[in-house]
Amino acid sequence: MNILILQGSPRAKGNTAWMAEEYKNAAEAAGHQVTIVNVAKKKIAGCLACEYCHGKGEGACVQKDDMQEIYPLLAEAEVLVLASPIYYFTLSAQIQAPIQRFYSMMKPANVKKTALLLSSHSPGVYEGAIAEYKLISGFCGYEDMGIVTAFLEEQKTDATKQKIIELIKKL
Ligand SMILES: Cc1cc2nc3c(=O)[nH]c(=O)nc-3n(C[C@H](O)[C@H](O)[C@H](O)COP(=O)(O)O)c2cc1C
């Protein structure tokens, strides 16, 4: 399957990046095609709510920022993985912006399945991010393939790697 991972941490060698890489490695080993986009390194503004996309734009966003590189990847993706650090009990702002910019396409049309990778300092801080992920996945009619979380002592461990591998087995 064609898998797109949106990685929302600015730390290129951080815990979220590690989870995204492990997902990519395991998915590629299973024969899938995987692209990781570090959206935290992109210039992606929030939605302007101008409705250009739903009128004159015919699905195209009026803002010509780095989201323009991501729209074609979203249009092709069959599996969408959101990978984010927990910032103040929710997804990072860097990943919220591209998610909200889905608005011009309403929902990425080829996506069938989704997964969520979260890292945090503390345990038990995932409720907000998971609720948002499940609401969006449900709204779009996607199948949730599972969630892996890793707080401090679970980060970059074989146990977390194994949980990520289990997600891919379900694809
Ligand atoms: C702005 C900010 C807010 C954070 N908020 C939380 C939080 O609410 N709960 C928590 O457990 N960790 C919080 N953290 C810690 C990160 O979630 C944690 O260090 C995570 O593993 C970072 O992922 P990364 O290594 O991929 O950047 C926060 C970190 C930052 C920079």
Domain chopping of the chain, boundaries:
2-169
Rounded CA gap, 73 and 37, in Å?
9
Beta strands in the chain (DSSP E): 2-7, 33-38, 79-87, 90-91, 113-119, 143-150
| Residue closest by Cα to atom 2 of ligand 1 | 87
Question: Tokens standing for 158?
Answer: 């074989």
What is the model's pLDDT at position 164?
A: 98
What is the model's pLDDT at position 18?
A: 98
CA of 33: how far to CAs of 1, 4, 42, 73, 165, in Å?
6, 9, 22, 12, 15
Q: What is the pLDDT of residues 56-101, one digit of tens each?
A: 999 999 999 999 999 999 999 999 999 999 999 999 999 999 999 9
Whether 100 contacts 69, CB under 8 Å:
no
pTM (whole model) above 0.95? yes
Q: How far is the CA of 87 from the centre of ligand 1 (A)?
A: 5
Q: What is the pLDDT of residues 12-64, one digit of tens each?
A: 999 999 999 999 999 999 999 999 999 999 999 999 999 999 999 999 999 99
Pocket lined around ligand 1, Cβ cut-off 6 Å: 9, 11, 14-17, 85-89, 119-122, 125
Q: Which residue has the tokens 């995987």?
A: 34
What is the model's pLDDT at position 15?
A: 98
The DSSP code for 40 is: G
Q: Does domain 2-169 have CATH number 3.30.10.20?
A: no
Contacts of 125 (CB under 8 A, 6+ apart): 86, 89, 151
Contacts of 67 (CB under 8 A, 6+ apart): 42, 44, 45, 61, 98, 101
Ligand 1 closest atom vs CA 11: 27
Q: How far is the CA of 14 from the centre of ligand 1 (A)?
A: 10
The confidence band for 159, taking pLDDT boundaries of 50, 70 and 90, is very high
Which of 19, 87, 119, 126 is the pocket-test mutation for ligand 1 (most atoms within 8 Å of CB)?
87
Rounded CA gap, 52 and 103, in Å?
11
